[in-house]
Amino acid sequence: MNATPSAAGPPAPAGAAKIHVETIARVEGEGALHVRLKGGRIQDLRLEIPEPPRLFEAFLRGRRAEEAVDITARICGICPFAYQMSAAHAVERAWGIAIDPQVRALRRLFYCGEWIESHALHIYLLHAPDFLGYQDAFEMAAKLRPEVERALRLKKLGNTIMRVLGGREIHPVSVRVGGFYRVPTKSELAPLAEELKWALEASRQTALLVKTLPFPDFQQDYEFVALSHPDEYPLNEGRIVSSLGVDLDAAEFEDNFVEQHVRHSNALHSVVRERGSYLTGPLARFNLNYAKLPEVALETARACGLEPPVRNPFRSIVVRAVELVFACAEALRVIEQYEPPAAPCAPYERRAGTGMAATEAPRGLLYHRYTIDGTGLILASKIVPPTAQNLKRIEDDLWRYLPQVLSERWDAPVEEITWRAEQAIRNYDPCISCATHFLRVRVTHEE
C-alpha cells in the first residue's frame, strides 16, 4: 500500500492530499497513478506507465514476416494468441492468403480459450476482490473457497483449449501465417466438450453472482469501438465500428484513430481523430454486437439486467461474465461442427505489400500493420494494443469518478480514495505489459 498523505501522521482526509500509487496491483504490467487534490478538487491526475519500452516495432524491421507471429506474442503473456492472430491476419492480407473455413473455425475456438482464461482470471482473481474488499484472491479464497475454485477450473479449461490447439497456453507454437503447423483430430477436441458444458453453466452462475456486487452509480457517455461482423460476435474478423458512426476496414484504422502525445500524462494516447478518447473491450463489444450473442448469452444478459448500452464501467465485470458464457457456447459449437481441414496451412507466396488487421483481444481491439518487401522481410510495422487505446479513457473516467467519490464523502481517507481509483482502473483489465510504445514517464511533483 503506497498511498502517502501529504501531511505526516495519522490518515488524513483526502480533501488536500497527493495520492501516489507507485505500483498498481492486480494489473498485468506496471502502471503508476498520481493524483493531486486540493480543497477536494483534482489539481492534477496522471496515469503513468513506468513499464520499460521494449521497442518491438523497431526490431521487427528486417525480420521475416512469418516471424511476427511468434515475436509479437511476446508483447503480452496474457493475450499472446491475440497478438498471433492480428499478426497472422495482417500478413495474410498483405499476401492475399485465403484461409480454409475449418482453420478459421479453429482460430475462433483458440480465441475462445484465451477469452475464457483471461476473463476468468480478471473477473475472479483481479477484479472481484475490489468489490468485496479483499486485497487479493488468496485472501478471498479463505472465505469464498468454492467460488475461487470455480474460477480456477474455468481458467484451467481456457488454458487446456489453448494447450490442445497450440502446445502451450502462453506463447503457443502451432500458429502460423496461412493456418497452423498442425491441426487437432476430432477425437482430440471431443473431450473438451464435457468440461465446456460444465463451464457454460459455471459461466452463467458467474454472471448471476457478479451482478449482485455493489456497483457505484457512475454512467459515462463513451464512444464505444469494437469489431463488428454481420453474422457473429466478433473475434477475428469484422469492420471497425463505433457508437458514434465510425465504420471502416482495418486498412483505414490509422486514418481515423491517432496517437497523441499528451503533455500531462507523457504517454501516447489513442483518440478518435478530432473527437477524443474512446473505449474498447467487453463493454464496447457487448454494446455494439448485442444482437449477435448466442441465445444462452442473451438470456444470461437479460437475467443480469444488462441491456445495451451499458455505460457504467464498473458493470464491465458482468459483461465479461456474459462474454464468458458466449465463449463457452461458441467453443462448444466449433467443436461439435469440426471437421479437420484438408491441409493445416494454405500455400502462399511471399510478395511486397502492406497488410493491416484488427482482432478482439480479451481486453479490446488489437491493431497490427506490416509493410513487407518482395523477399518477405518486414520494412515497417505498427502495433496498437488495446490498453494504449483505453489509456486516455481510463484517465477521463478518473477525472470524473474521483470527484464523485469525494462529493459523497468529502473526508474519505486517502486509503479509500486510492482503492476506488485502482478499482476504476481495473474496470478496463489494463494490460500494461503490452508497452510496445508507451512512454517511460518522469515524475515531477508540484507543491
Which residues within the stretch 94-153 sit at the binding site for another protein (CB under 8 A)? 121, 125-126, 129, 135-139, 141, 148-149, 152-153
Q: How close are the terminal C-alpha atoms of the chain, in Å? A: 22
Q: Is 327 in the site for another protein (CB under 8 A)?
A: no
Q: Is 203 in the site for another protein (CB under 8 A)?
A: no
d(CA 97, CA 252): 20
Q: Is 291 in the site for another protein (CB under 8 A)?
A: no
Phi, psi at residue 287, to the nearest 5°? Answer: -65, -30
Output 34 or 292, the one with its CB closest to another protein.
34
Q: Is 392 in the site for another protein (CB under 8 A)?
A: no
Whether a cis peptide bond, with omega within 30° of 0, leads into 282 is no
Write the binding mask 71 to 90 for another protein: x where contact by CB under 8 A, - elsewhere.
x--xxxxx-x----------
Window contacting another protein (CB under 8 A); options: 50-58, 101-109, 228-236, 297-305? 50-58
CB of 253 to another protein, least distance (A): 18
Would the CA dihedral through 175, 177, 182, 186 be positive or negative? positive
Q: Contact with another protein (CB under 8 A): which of 6, 266, 312, 371?
A: 266
Q: Contact with another protein (CB under 8 A): which of 41, 55, 132, 408?
A: 55
Phi, psi at residue 248, to the nearest 5°? Answer: -150, 165
Q: Is 1 in the site for another protein (CB under 8 A)?
A: yes
DSSP string for 219-261: -----EEEEE-SSS--SS--EEEETTS-EE-GGGHHHHEEEEE
CB of 137 to another protein, least distance (A): 7
Residue with cell 479483499: 134
Output 57 or 299, the one with its CB closest to another protein.
57
Window contacting another protein (CB under 8 A); options: 67-75, 202-210, 236-244, 285-293? 67-75
Interface positions, 12-31, toward another protein (CB under 8 A): 23-30
Interface positions, 165-184, toward another protein (CB under 8 A): 167-171, 173-174, 176, 180-182
**Residues whose CB is less than 8 angstroms from the CB of residue 222 and which lie 6 or more positions away in sequence, other chains included:** 243, 278, 279, 283, 284, 311, 393
* Integer angstrom CA distances of residue 431 from 43, 187, 205, 438: 27, 35, 26, 12
Residue 320: alpha-carbon gap to chain centroid = 10
